Structure 1
Amino acid sequence: MEIAQSQQQAAPGAFTAFVRFVLFGGGVGLASSFAVAALASWIYWGLANALITAVSTLLATELHARFTFGAGGRATWRQHAQSAGSAAGAYAVTSVAMLVLQQLVAAPGVALEQVVYLSASALAGIARFAVLRLVVFTRTRSQVAATVRTARPVHATATRAAAPAGPVMLGHAA
């Protein structure tokens, strides 16, 4: 029974998972922004950004596997690859949003740039949450069934029918 309850806690609902996604992903993102600035004082900014993005995506994927989506442990290589793909998609969305802004407004102010970037980031984040929850860390029916079988072991008891004392003749009435 305890195992079944812990399995239920390991797979949080959508709202709880989203709150955790924002906290863990946002926390890693915030730490990454400071790490990029610090590393960029030693190496080229583009390289610093690429390195920190790779490390932060790995870290966030591990956190999401263990805590956000309750995958039950470490992320697999497949999950890391799919998560990296969703992060690349989010990067593309924010980049396109900023390029479109530059095409539409000759000299956008810092406030407008921040509104556009943060809005694109929020939309990309919601899409990324959906991809991670529904694709990357989804639990298939067979995984859920295996979890249920493992969580609640069934102790089968077989009763044996008493064998007749003498020979059995088929087709003859006794």
Structure 2
Amino acid sequence: MRKKQAAPGAFTAFARFVLCGGGVGLTSSFAVAALASWMPWGLANALVTAVSTLLATELHARFAFGTGGRATRRQHAQSAGSAAAAYAVTCVAMLVLQQLVAAPGAMLEQVVYLSASALAGVARFTVLRLVVFARNLPPVPTPARTARPVPATVARAAAPADPAALCRTA
């Protein structure tokens, strides 16, 4: 049985996300560069993205978002969706670079790739925190409702059609 631990606050979760995801992402960028010398860049990025997503999701589940154990299949599947979007962002960034610069150097490619990865990473953190690992978040406190006095209403008597009726006694 998995021991449920309290989820860390947003700042702590983000710091852990950056540490885990950034470490995996930095390692991945070098892996993509190395594999791209043997195969097309898009294929190298796809392979590295798949492996790094599995690893990062496990690290995020155990460390960044405080699930207290391994990521579930559902969490892996949802995380894969956010990774696919990140993959698209990095591919588009590299395609734009190749359109703008005839022969970009390795350093420029790394800067563009890591910048696109960082942008996608912030969006991915948001999705993982608010959707994928949301059930581990502490409930958002709702303001206490205080009873407000209901204003008293004064019923007005309808005026009789005959004003002389007010003077008559029953």
Classify the TM-score, shorter chain: 0.5 to 0.7
1:91 counterpart letter in structure 2: Y
What is the distance in 2 between the residues matched to 1:97 and 1:33?
Answer: 14
Moved more, 56-65 or 45-54: 45-54
Aligned residues, how many? 134
Alignment-derived partner of residue 161 in structure 1: none
Report how far residue 108 of structure 1 moved.
4.2
- Tell me which of 98, 113, 116 is aligned to 1:120: 116
Q: In structure 2, list runs of 5 or more residues that go unmatched.
A: 140-170
Q: CA deviation at 1:20?
A: 0.6
Q: Give yes or no for contact 1:36–1:45 (8 Å, CA) kept in 2.
A: no
AA aligned opposite 2:120: A
Q: How does 1:50-89 map to 2 (within 5 A)?
A: 50-89=46-85
CA deviations over 1:68-90 (Å, ceiling 9, x no partner): 00123211111101111111110
Q: What code does the residue aligned with 1:26 have?
A: G
Whole-Å separation in 2 of the counterparts to 1:125 and 1:80: 16
Shift of 1:126: 0.3
Aligned equivalent of 2:16, options 14, 20, 23: 20
Q: Which residue of 2 aligns with 1:29?
A: 25
Local SS of the residue matching 1:72: coil
Highest Rg: 1 or 2? 2
CA contact (8 A) 1:21 1:129 kept: yes
Structure 1: runs of 5 or more not aligned: 145-174
Q: What is the CA–CA distance in structure 2 between the aligned matches of 1:34 and 1:93, rounded to whole Å?
A: 18
Q: Which has the higher helix share?
A: 1
TM-score with structure 1 setting the length? 0.62
Q: Aligned Cα RMSD in Å?
A: 3.2
Q: Is the 8 A contact 2:46 2:87 kept in 1?
A: no
* Structure-2-length-normalised TM-score: 0.63
Judged with a 3 Å threshold, the aligned counterparts in structure 2 of structure 1 residues 30 and 65 are, in CA distance, closer, same or farther, namely same
The CA deviation at 1:57 is 1.3
Are 1:103 and 2:99 matched, yes or no? yes
Tell me the amino acid that sits aligned with residue 135 of structure 2. R
Task: Determine the C-alpha separation between the residues in 1 that align with 2:100 and 2:45.
Answer: 27
Provide the identity percentage.
82
